[in-house]
Amino acid sequence: MLEDLKKRVYEANMLLPKYRLVTFTWGNVSEIDKESGLFAIKPSGVDYDKLTPDDIVLMDLKGEKVEGKYNPSSDTPTHLELYKAFPKIGGIVHTHSSWATSWAQAGRGIPCYGTTHADYMYGEIPCARCLDKEEIESDYEKNTGLLIADLFKDKNYEAMPAVLCKNHGPFTWGKDGHEAVHNAVVLEEVAKMAARCEQINPRVQPALQELQDKHYYRKHGANAYYGQK
């Protein structure tokens, strides 16, 4: 069932070790098929060097496994809540990539210090609050998704396809799994550059809003002109 979807999700997951975003099994990619309402996700705890397309698990939007010999990623409830909250996205990535996770553990959003950041993400990359004791103990992964969705209720999740979860790590999303991985790579590089920027100049300020606008909107929106037709 949905063999092409499973193959795409397998390929997207294999990009995580390629771009050094995961250590051991610390990450996962999912992608949703809007027509069927099913999404495919990496199985929990399976090593990347042993992963095959047949290992990818299919889930429905009720959180029930539809197909797969393994249990789905333990982060599946988070992915599920994001698909329900963000109807225009088609893929989600979660990693513990070291630079982005360092900002998450510090409980800080990542300011937009330059045009690399502005090309992809509009404004400061937000850091969600830490879940409280009750939220952690009751339904941790689902509550993580609900927390992210609540944080973005007054934000444009397409213009900001990334979030940091305090004391945890990053999530990114996109039109499909591959774009979500692309955004995860960008997030890690931006996190690295921002940390180094603050080391070099502790008094650094975010880039001018006009510069941020120029770089974001030349790649996104009706008047974008970056790239080829």
Question: What is the pLDDT confidence band of residue 225, given thresholds at 50, 70 and 90?
Answer: very high
Percent of the chain whose predicted confidence (pLDDT) is above 70: 100
| 91 within some domain | yes
* pLDDT for position 1: 84
Structural domain tally of the chain? Answer: 1
Q: Across the beta sheet with 38-41, what order do the strands follow? A: 65-67, 57-60, 38-41, 27-33, 91-95, 169-174, 162-165, 127-128
Q: Are 89 and 181 in contact (CB under 8 A)?
A: no
Please list the active-site residues: 119, 226
- Region 121-147: mean pLDDT is 97
The rounded percent of the chain whose pLDDT value lies above 90 is 97
Q: Is residue 200 part of a domain?
A: yes
Q: Is there a domain that residue 224 lies in?
A: no
The residue behind tokens 């941020």 is 212
pLDDT (tens digit, 9 = 90+) per residue, 136-185?
999 999 999 999 999 999 999 999 999 999 999 999 999 999 999 999 99
Q: Give the pLDDT of residue 229.
A: 73
pLDDT for the residue numbered 56: 98
Is 47 within the bounds of a domain?
yes
pLDDT number for residue 208 = 98
- Tell me, what's the pLDDT at 34? 95
pLDDT band at residue 96, thresholds of 50, 70 and 90? very high
Indicate whether 222 belongs to any domain.
Answer: no
Domain that holds residue 45: 3-217
Q: Within 10 Å of residue 154's Cβ, how many Cβ atoms?
A: 6
* Distance from C-alpha of 121 to C-alpha of 168, rounded to nearest angstrom: 20
pLDDT digits (tens, 9 = 90+) for 14-25: 999 999 999 999
Q: Is 80 exceeded by the pLDDT of residue 198?
A: yes
Confidence of residue 8 (pLDDT cuts 50, 70, 90): very high
User: Can you give the pTM of this predicted structure?
Assistant: 0.96
Quote the CA–CA distance of 96 and 122 in Å, as a whole number: 22
Q: What is the mean pLDDT of the chain?
A: 97
For residue 223, being part of any structural domain is answered with no
User: CATH number, domain at 176?
Assistant: 3.40.225.10
For residue 226, being part of any structural domain is answered with no
Please check whether residue 188 lies inside any domain of the structure. Answer: yes
